[in-house]
Amino acid sequence: MKNSSFTQDHDGVKIHNTLENSIFDPSVVILAAGQGTRLSTQQQGIPKPLQTLLGLSFAERTLMTFAQMGLKKFVAVLGYAKEKVRTHFEEIADRRKLSIVFVEAENWSKGNGASLAAASKVLKQKNFLLTMVDHVFKPELVKRFLSQIKSMDTTDLGVCLGVDGKKENLFDLSDATKVYVNRNLVLKIGKDLSEWNTIDTGLFYCTSEVFDALKEAQMDGCFSLSDGIRILAKKERVRAVDLSGESWMDVDTPEAWKETRRRMLLSIGKNTSDGYISQYFNRKISKVFSEYFALTSITPNQITWLSFFLCILGSVLIAAGGPVNLLGREGMILGALVVQFASIIDGCDGEVSRLKFLQTQGGAWLDTVLDRYADVALAMAVTYSASTSSNPTFYWVLGTLSLSGFILTSYVKKEYEIRFSASIPDGVLNKLSRRDLRIFVISIGVIVGFAFEALCVVGILSHICVAFILYFGLKGPFIRDQSSI
């Protein structure tokens, strides 16, 4: 049975919450017992799970990375400052509607293997996912890991370890746990390996065999998780799951924290649905504001409203600077700059929603609706400004036709996706019809004194895009759909 759904962020990007098989619903064990002394200089006196990164604590970021994949059952292993950490996890669970079981590891200070061993009493021979609270993954990495696990023969699994063979993405080689893999089997693991070909990402899928191995390691005075994995590796019971190229970080030091933050801010601008202006201009600025917004309690929906009101304000300035000449030419230029700034801020709602796992269908819908109202306001402002010079009917007809192109482009794209369960091919013409380019061209047109001409140009581009979508729909998916009847 397949259980699959998705939400959309404010940029309209689909975020899949997928469990290919509803039977596959393991608990996620999070090791959150450590003190994090090496990271403590970054945020003095705060337990590691409570330390924050771009608006979310490590605890919440870890929980939501897995929850976004449809996993809702968690086991948090506590140690240092256990009551404070437990209270924080409980607050997150209540707010995010998650289920968390808590385990107190008495010997947490000996090593992360001792912390995991304490969880054996609640897992009751069940298979489980395992990670550390200070490991930051993109959800795509977890999705890839789960996909590969579910394709394996689960009747003969020991431990599966996610590994990354792309060494150029490694931040701190000296601190990394090296792994030697041969024929998908982990044969060696450790920080000081001289022969290695991949890196331990800190993501595991474990059976109860791991507890037997940890117990055996502890009898020899070894208390790290790697000690237990090393014992299983000698028995060829550890499979490697290739996650090369995916984004992840082990945040153990202030330097790693800063690098993780840098990579996260860089990645939020890489939205495949972006147009040319967003990709090469808007995102470079919007992520600066998104970093600030993420550190506040401002919600993505509030950012959506902010962008909308800025566009309305800019449109009013453009209209007022035209025929009524309240503000003059300078007022129109100011209006154009405000409208373009609104377009930049329009990307922040989606960026913040991705950074803080706040994607909702309602947020994406609100963004779409307000964008259309803002488009109407801008088109009317430009048309009104031009219509008083001469022949107002001519200007209002062309202005209305241009506006209809903006609205129809959005409508036809959505209809295409609904009817054919597929996205429009992301070619040049599709990118030229996007809102970021429309706003930019009109703003430049206002500044250089050709506002109405700019409106007509982007209106024509929008209608060409609509024609392209209709052609593609009738010649492509539509014919295939009819042939299956």
> For the domain 271-483, what is the CATH superfamily, name and number?
CDP-alcohol phosphotransferase transmembrane (TM) domain (1.20.120.1760)
First to last CA, the chain: 25
| Angstrom distance (rounded) from CA 455 to CA 452 | 5
Average pLDDT over residues 196-225: 95
Total-model pTM: 0.87
Q: Containing H/E element for 317?
A: helix 300-320
In sequence order, the 6+-apart residues with CB closer than 8 A to the CB of 420 are 473, 477, 478, 481
Residue 483: the pLDDT is 40
pLDDT at 37 over 70: yes
Q: Containing H/E element for 7?
A: strand 3-8
Given phi > 0 = left and psi -120 to 50 = alpha, else beta, which region is 284?
alpha
Which range has highest mean pLDDT (166-170, 310-314, 430-434)?
310-314
Please name the amino acid found at residue 203.
L
Residue 24: the pLDDT is 75
DSSP assignment letter at 326: S
Q: CB of 271 within 8 A of CB of 278?
A: yes
| Angstrom distance (rounded) from CA 476 to CA 365 | 28
| Angstrom distance (rounded) from CA 211 to CA 12 | 44
Q: What is the pLDDT of residues 141-157, one digit of tens each?
A: 999 999 999 888 767 78
The share of the chain scoring above pLDDT 90, in percent, equals: 70
| Angstrom distance (rounded) from CA 54 to CA 70 | 23
pLDDT at 427 over 90: no
pLDDT at 373 over 50: yes
pLDDT bin (cut points 50, 70, 90) of residue 86 is: very high
If you classify domain 3-263 with CATH, what class do you get? alpha beta
Please name the amino acid found at residue 103.
V
Average pLDDT, the chain: 89
Q: CB of 10 within 8 A of CB of 353?
A: yes
Q: Of 125-139, 194-208, 292-306, 467-481, which gets the smallest average pLDDT?
A: 467-481
Main-chain phi, psi angles of 247, to 5 degrees: -95, 125
Average pLDDT over residues 10-38: 69
Q: Containing H/E element for 27?
A: strand 27-32
Q: Which two tokens stand for residue 316?
A: 């009013």
Main-chain phi, psi angles of 427, to 5 degrees: -95, -175
Q: Which two tokens stand for residue 225?
A: 């998780």
Q: CB of 436 within 8 A of CB of 282?
A: yes
- Between strands 27-32 and 73-78, the pairing is parallel
The share of the chain scoring above pLDDT 70, in percent, equals: 90
Q: What is the pLDDT of residues 235-291, one digit of tens each?
A: 999 999 999 989 999 999 999 999 999 999 988 875 667 889 999 999 999 999 999
pLDDT bin (cut points 50, 70, 90) of residue 1 is: very low
| Angstrom distance (rounded) from CA 414 to CA 420 | 10
Q: CB of 184 within 8 A of CB of 239?
A: yes
Q: CB of 206 within 8 A of CB of 127?
A: yes
Bigger pLDDT: 286 vs 424: 286
**Coil, helix or strand for 304?**
helix
- Between strands 56-57 and 73-78, the pairing is unpaired
Q: Of 17-26, 166-175, 253-262, 419-428, which gets the smallest average pLDDT?
A: 17-26
Average pLDDT over residues 52-66: 97
Average pLDDT over residues 42-64: 90
| Angstrom distance (rounded) from CA 142 to CA 259 | 20
Q: Containing H/E element for 422?
A: none
| Angstrom distance (rounded) from CA 259 to CA 176 | 15
| Angstrom distance (rounded) from CA 22 to CA 38 | 40
| Angstrom distance (rounded) from CA 9 to CA 274 | 13
Average pLDDT over residues 189-201: 94
| Angstrom distance (rounded) from CA 176 to CA 396 | 65
Nearest to 387 by CA among 396, 398, 378, 379: 396
Domain residue spans of the chain: 3-263, 271-483
